[in-house]
Each structure stands twice: as C-alpha cells, then as structure tokens.
Amino acid sequence: MLEPDIAIIINSFNRLDLLKECLKALATWIPSTQFKMRCVAVVYDAGSTDGSLQWLIKEAPKLGIALKVITPKPEEDTSFAAGLNAGVAYAHARYPSLKYLLFYETDNQILSSYPLLQAIEQIENRSRLAACGFTVRLHNGNPAGVGQSFPSLLNFILGNKIVNRFQLERIPYVWQEEIGGAAFSRVDVVYTSPLLVRLDAWLESGGLDATMFPFSDCDVDWARRLWQLSWKMGVIRTNDVVHDNQATLSNWSNTRMIQSHRGRLRYFKRHHPKSVFLAWPVLLTVRHLFELLSVQILIRNPIQRFRLTKQVSSLLRTSIRNYE
C-alpha cells in the first residue's frame, strides 16, 4: 500500500464553519484522483471550544479523506506558528515517504486537483524552489492577499495606511509559462494560505520561529531565512483557490495591530539590526503621534473614533518597549 507523500497541515481554532468548508472543498476532488493515496490531512486543533474537535472526530472521517487530528499537551504553546510546526513534526515522524507539506488554513478552499498538480510540477522542475503558492481570490471573485516583497524599513515608518493607499507593497509579478503551461512568478514572500512546501527545504530552514514570531510575520521571517539559504518561493496563477475568512474574526483579531507592529519590528531587528535604529523608537513614535492627531481631527463617527484612538494609543504607549 502506498504511503502518503503530501501532508495537508491545518491549524484550527474556533472556526468550525470555515473548517467544515475547507475540508469539504478537498473532499470534492481528493477521493476521485491520484491524491486519495498521496494525501493525508493533519489537523492541529489548538484547544477549540466551538465543537470543532467533536466534529472532526465524528463527521470528518465521512468525507473520504485520510485525516489525523492532534491536540496540544497542557501548557503547550498553541500559537499559529507552534501549531504549524507541531503538525509538520507529527507528519514527518509518522510518514517516512513524506515529500511535500501543503499549508492549508481554515479560510482556504482548493477547488480542484489542478493547482496542486501544477505546484508540484513547478517545485520538481525549478532549481531550489522551496515553496509554491497560488493566486487566491475571495468568494466574490476579487483577488485576495498572496504575499509580498521583503519588507521595506521606509514602508514600516510610513505605516500601513499610506502603504495600502499607494500600493507600495504590491507584488511585482513576472509571469513565465515554461513548465506545464502554468503561469509562474517568483515572489519574495508567499503567505501560508495555502502553500505547497518541499519537506527538505522546511527541515533545512528549521521551520517557523514560534518564539519570536508566534503569529504576525512568522511566514515573512521564514521566507527571509529560506532566501538566506538560497531557496526561492513563487506562485502559480489560478482561479481555483479561495482565501476568504468571510469576516470571521480570529482569536487574536483584537490585538492584530499591535501584534503586526511587534512582529515587523522583530523582523527588522533580526534581519536589519543596524538600520532598524533609523526608525525605532523615534520615527515610529512620531508616526503614532501623527496618527493619533489625525484620528481626532478626521474621524467624525464617535464609536469609530473611540476604537481607533484606543488602538493607536496602545501603539504609542508600547512603541518604546518593542510593542510589548
């Protein structure tokens, strides 16, 4: 009997409705293709309280997909990065023939076998390609976030509002159609939503750094470390991959802004330890003061003004302390 060579790693926490849909999407094509024997889904449930674990145990086996569920031990780190690392470690230890990891989040849906086939072909035929992602879309057809270029210190100083307004981190795609007819482009950072990864590249890199980057920028830091090891990342163009959380808030949504600043500052301290002091703490503190003033002047809705004032004030208070 063939052993699986692809582990689909899913980190799940209190998103039962999305979890059902992401697995059901796989069930529409895995059982009827070559991937029935090649794939096993490993779901890391990080302590859900919404019935996710019970549904996985009772209902998920009926989908026709090989599926394993793992849970953390008491007091074990259950951050996003730690959960992904744990899922990979389990699959690597259990399946000796493992070659690929498919990082597949609960708000993802892969609608056919073609994107996975094309991603495998790219990795197998491109030198030092560690990971291949996909152009993703929302359910309404609009494009969703795929990845980014390596972060710029100037963009960090300017802040997300200006960066997004002028699309300063737009990916400079350079599409090629050389292998299997799929359009492929190199990208510095491809997010784990979803992402096909060579196991040997993952092992060489040491995986995600869950201590320094438990949530935000764990994939950005990992992509940079891959690049330092002469590995590359890229995406294929497809319309069969969805990344849409349907406005479902995650466990850390309330702290997303401060987490993203903390992660980005840690990224620059690790990878640009000298130049980071051009921005931190003086310029970042000045930026937060300006943002706070702008909120008071420009935001008329009192509820929105109160919410934004609270968020920016938190950034201002903690900026001098590494956003801790």
DSSP string across 247-292: TPPPTTGGGHHHHHHHHHHHHHHHH-TTGGGGTTTHHHHHHHHHHH
Amino acid 249: pLDDT: 62
65-74 burial code (b ≥16 CB/10 A, e <16): bbbbbeeeee
pTM of the model as a whole? 0.95
Residue type, 136: V
End-to-end CA distance of the chain: 51
* In the chain, domain spans: 6-248, 254-321
Residue with tokens 């699959």: 91
Amino acid 251: pLDDT: 56
Amino acid 1: pLDDT: 57
Amino acid 136: pLDDT: 98
Average pLDDT per block of 10 residues along the chain, 324 residues long: 91 96 98 97 97 95 96 94 98 98 98 97 96 97 95 95 90 90 96 97 98 97 98 98 84 77 97 95 96 94 94 95 95
CB 102 within 8 A of CB 5: no
What top-level class would CATH report for the domain 6-248? Answer: alpha beta
Amino acid 256: pLDDT: 86
Say whether 56 sits in a helix, a strand or coil. Answer: helix
Distances (CA, A) of 68 to 56, 71, 105, 253: 9, 10, 15, 28
Cis ω for the linkage preceding 194 (within 30 of 0): yes
